Structure 1
Amino acid sequence: MEATPSYVHGAHDVPLIGETIGSFLAGVAQRHGSNDALVVPHQQVRWTYAELDERVTRLAAGLLALGLRPGDRVGIWSQNCAEWVLVQFATARAGLVMVNINPAYRRSELEYVLAKVQCAALILAPSFKTSDYLAMVADVVPELAASASGQLQSKALPQLRHVIRLGTDRTPGMWNFDDLFKPTEAQLANLKTVEASNQFDDPVNIQFTSGTTGSPKGATLTHHNILNNGFFIGEAMKLTSRDRLCIPVPLYHCFGMVLGNLACVTHGAAMVFPGESFEPVSVLKTVQAERCTGLHGVPTMFIALLDHPDFGSFDLSTLRTGIMAGSPCPAEVMSRVIERMHLSEITIAYGMTETSPVSFQSSVDDPVPLRVSTIGRVHPHLEVKIVDTDGRIVPRGVKGELLTRGYSVMLGYWGDEERTREAIDAAGWMHTGDLAVIDENGYAAIVGRAKDMVIRGGENIYPREIEEFLYRHPKVLDVQCIGVPDAKYGEELCACIVLRPGAACDEDEIRDFCKGQIAHYKIPRYIRFVSGFPMTVTGKIQKYLLREQVANDLGLVA
C-alpha cells in the first residue's frame, strides 16, 4: 500500500469573512453593544462594544483629519494599554497601516523601522521600564523640538510628519493623543467615504520579525489575513460573547493583537489586560477579580504563575480555555496547567508572523495526550505540506520542513522583494524553516528549527526531544538544548538547565537520569546550570544567543 503524503487541507463549512476589520467591528458593536469589550483595570478602563466602536470612529476620523491618507503607515510604540487597542482598530477603519514597534527597541532600531516602512506618523508612550521613548525620539528627530505639531520636517526621516504622545503632559512638536478625539461632522463624513473604499486585501499591519541574522523584516498583513485568523483561533477555543480573556502577552506581537484582541472581537468577548507587561501577581489577581474564562501565555509565563508562592490563594475556577504558544510547550507544564489552573480546554497554537500567525491549533476536545504532544491539526481554509530538502512531499510520519499556503500568507516583506521570494515560493507556499511531522490523523508535531537541529557525527539530534525528556526530572524547572562546536563530531549537545527554587543537582545526576532512557548519543555532553535564557520580549528563547554564550563559556570555537 502506498504511503499517505504529508499534505493536509483544512476544508471547512464556515466561510472566510469577506470584510475589513473596521466594518466587522461595527457589526459586532451592533450585535453585542452592551457587552464588555475592553477592561484595563490599571487604567480604570471598562468599555462596552458600543463605547469602543464610538471611540475607534472618533480616533479614525481624527487621524485622517491630520492629513494622513489611506495606505500611510502609522507606528505604535508602547506597552500594553487601552490606547494601543484603539490605535489597532482606528488605523484599520481609516485605511491606515499600523506598524507595531517592539517596546524593547532602542534608538537605532526605532530609526531603522521608521525609515524602512516610511512612517508618516508615530504614536508613542512617554516611557516604559528603562526606556525613555521621548528622549530617543528627540535624538532620532532633533528637529521636533522646534516644530509646530504636524509640521515636522526631518532630515533623517522625511516622511515622518506627525508625532503623537500618550499621557496628559505636553511635549514640543508633538500632538497629544486625546486631541485626536474631537472630529467635526465633515471629518466624520470623510471617514465614512474612506471606509467605503477600503478593501479587505489592503495591508493593515506591518510586524517586524525578530530576525536571528540581519535586520528585522516587516511582514505585511492584510485585513483578510488577521481578521480571519483571529476568528478561527476563537472558534478553536469555542469562544462566545460570554467569555472574558485575560491577555498578558505583548500587543505589539501577533499573540496579543490577533490571538488575543481579534479572537475576542470576532466573538463579542471581553479583552482583559492585567497590566502593561507580564507580572504574575497582576495576572492572578485580574483572573480572579474579572472572573476571566480564558488566559493566554507563553510556557515561561505559565511556569511563573504555577510556581508563584501565592498561587494557591487565588480563585482561578472561572478559567476554561486559553492558548499556550510562542515556543514549544513542555508536556509537563501543559499537564500542570490543565490540572491546577482549571484550564481543561486550553489549546496549543502554532504559527509564525508571516502566516497571520496561526496555521495549526489543537481543539478543546482533543485528548490531553494529543494536546501535550502535538500542535493539533491544520487550521480551516489552509493547506500545509511537509517536504524534504529537495522540496518533495514526504510520507506521513517522516520529518521535513513545514510549508503553509492559503488566505493567511502575508503580502510579503515590506520593501524587500528578494527576501519575500526566498520565503514564499512561486506556488504561494510560505517556507517556515520549522521541522515537523504529520501523523496519519493529521496531527502535527514540531521537532525543531531546521537550523536548530544538532548534527553529531552524522546523527541528527532534535533538541526538542531531549528537552521533553529532561522536563520529567523532578528538579528541572526549564531546559534548553543546543549544539556547540566540537572538533571530533562537528557538534555536541549541551543542556542548559534552570533548577526549581531550592533544588540542588549536579551534572552526574542529570546524566544518570538519561542513561538507559535515551540513546547514548542524545545524552548531553555538556550540562550547564543557568538562572535563565536570553529571550525576545514575546518569550521566544533566542537559541542562537544561548549557543554563542555557552560556546564562549566553554572555550569552544567553531
Structure 2
Amino acid sequence: TTSAGSLLTKLATDNPYKDVVRYEHKNRKWNLQHVDYYSEALAIGLLENGLQPGDVVLSWLSPHFSESMALQFACSKSGLILYNLDPSLATTDPEAAKQALSQALTLTKANVLISQEAGSDVNYVRLCETVIPEIRFFDFAEGKPFVTPRFPHLRLPIHTGFDQDDKWGMLLLKQFVIPAGNLKEHLDGFTVTGSTPFLGELVLDDKGIPTGTGKIQTNDDVTKSGVLETFSKILSKDFHVVEGEGVVW
C-alpha cells in the first residue's frame, strides 16, 4: 500500500484546487495543492539537513496551527517518525511543561524539536532555552553541528517564528521549506509505504508529563484510525474549519 503522503500527491494532482481546510489561526485556507506543495517542501528540507527515514521529530505545536498539519504530511512523505507533545500545559504550569519537554526529548530520542515561538502569553523559545541550555549560547550561523549532552540525539531545535534575533541557537521552520521537487533523490532509494512507521505515542501521567512511549503507528494505521483528525479529513477531501486563536500572538 502507498503512504498517506503519496495519496495526498495523487489527490492534489487530480483535484489541485479543492479546498480542504481553513485555519482560524492566521486565517489560512488550504487547497490540496497547497497542502501537498508545502508538506513535500518541508519533507525535502528536513532530509536535506541530514535526517533519514526512521529519525524522530518531536512536535511541540498546537493542533490549531497549520504548521502542525504540514509537518504531519511531511513526516509521512519522508519516513520520519512524529511524536506530538501538547504545548498547552505551559499556559497553566510552565514548570510542569519544562519537565514534560525534557522527558519527551529523552524518551523519544528526538533528532528534531519543532516548537512554536510564542503564543497564549507563553514564550516557548525561552522555555526551550531552560530545558536545553545550549540553545542560549549556540550560534547556527557559525556552521557547526548542534550538540547538547543532555539530549545527545537532538540535532535540530526549530521554532515557527520569523527571525533569529536573540534566538541564534534555534533554526526557523521556514528555512526548511525547500520546494526543490527532488524528494525521491533525498530518500536515496528508500520507499515510503503504508507499512512505514509514522506516528509515535507518548504515555502521560495525570499531570501531562510523559512517562514512556507506546506503539508506533504506520501510515496505514494512522489513515485507518483517524487519530489525526485534520490529516484524515484532508485525505477524505472533507472541507472543515480548525478553530483556534485567530491572531499570531
Considering Cα pairs closer than 8 Å and 6+ residues apart, tell me whether 1 or 2 has the greater RCO. 2
Query: Could you tell me which of 46, 64, 78 is aligned with 1:94?
Result: 78
- The structural deviation recorded for 1:54 is 0.9
Pick closer, same or farther for the CA change 1:215–1:173 going to 2, 3 Å.
closer
- The structural deviation recorded for 1:92 is 1.1
Q: Is the CA contact (8 Å cut-off) linking 1:60 and 1:191 kept in structure 2?
A: no
Cα distance between partner residues in 2 of 1:271 and 1:132 = 29
Query: Could you tell me which of 88, 113, 119 is aligned with 1:122?
Result: 113
Aligned partner of 1:205 in structure 2 is 199
SS in 1 for 2:83: strand
Aligned: 1:274 with 2:237: no
Aligned partner of 2:99 in structure 1 is 108
Aligned partner of 1:62 in structure 2 is 45
- The structural deviation recorded for 1:27 is 1.8
Residue by residue over 1:363-409, the C-alpha shift from the partner in whole angstroms, topping out at 9 and shown as x without a partner, is xxxxxxxxxxxxxxxxxxxxxxxxxxxxxxxxxxxxxxxxxxxxxxx
Cα distance between partner residues in 2 of 1:193 and 1:270 = 35
Query: Could you tell me which of 42, 46, 59 is aligned with 1:76?
Result: 59
Query: Could you tell me which of 250, 263, 278 is aligned with 2:232?
Result: 263
Gapped regions of structure 2 (runs ≥ 5) = 91-96
- The structural deviation recorded for 1:129 is 2.3
Residue by residue over 1:95-143, the C-alpha shift from the partner in whole angstroms, topping out at 9 and shown as x without a partner, is 1011101112611110111011100011110123253321121011111
Cα distance between partner residues in 1 of 2:148 and 2:245 = 31
Q: Is the CA contact (8 Å cut-off) linking 1:65 and 1:183 kept in structure 2?
A: no
- The structural deviation recorded for 1:210 is 2.7
Aligned partner of 1:141 in structure 2 is 132
Q: Is the CA contact (8 Å cut-off) linking 2:83 and 2:201 kept in structure 1?
A: yes
Q: Is the CA contact (8 Å cut-off) linking 1:75 and 1:98 kept in structure 2?
A: yes
Give the letter for the 2:151 counterpart.
L
Cα distance between partner residues in 1 of 2:112 and 2:245 = 23
SS in 2 for 1:56: helix
SS in 2 for 1:204: strand
Choose between structure 1 and 2: higher helix proportion: 2
- The structural deviation recorded for 1:62 is 0.5
Give the letter for the 1:211 counterpart.
D
Cα distance between partner residues in 1 of 2:183 and 2:193 = 19
SS in 1 for 2:200: strand
SS in 1 for 2:43: helix
Give the letter for the 2:49 counterpart.
L
Q: Is the CA contact (8 Å cut-off) linking 1:76 and 1:99 kept in structure 2?
A: yes
SS in 2 for 1:172: coil
Query: Could you tell me which of 138, 151, 162 is aligned with 1:157?
Result: 151
Aligned: 1:42 with 2:25: yes
Q: Is the CA contact (8 Å cut-off) linking 1:60 and 1:91 kept in structure 2?
A: yes
Give the letter for the 1:20 counterpart.
S
Q: Is the CA contact (8 Å cut-off) linking 1:38 and 1:48 kept in structure 2?
A: yes
- The structural deviation recorded for 1:191 is 3.9
Identity of aligned residues (%): 23
Q: Note the aligned Cα RMSD (angstroms).
A: 2.3
Cα distance between partner residues in 1 of 2:75 and 2:36 = 13
- The structural deviation recorded for 1:212 is 4.2
Aligned: 1:25 with 2:16: no
Length-normalised TM-score, structure 2 = 0.84
Cα distance between partner residues in 2 of 1:180 and 1:203 = 22
Cα distance between partner residues in 2 of 1:93 and 1:32 = 19
Residue by residue over 1:176-198, the C-alpha shift from the partner in whole angstroms, topping out at 9 and shown as x without a partner, is 1111113546x54424646x512
Give the letter for the 1:229 counterpart.
S
Cα distance between partner residues in 1 of 2:112 and 2:210 = 22
Cα distance between partner residues in 2 of 1:208 and 1:180 = 25
Cα distance between partner residues in 2 of 1:212 and 1:267 = 34
Give the letter for the 1:152 counterpart.
F
Cα distance between partner residues in 1 of 2:60 and 2:27 = 21
Length-normalised TM-score, structure 1 = 0.39
Choose between structure 1 and 2: higher strand proportion: 1
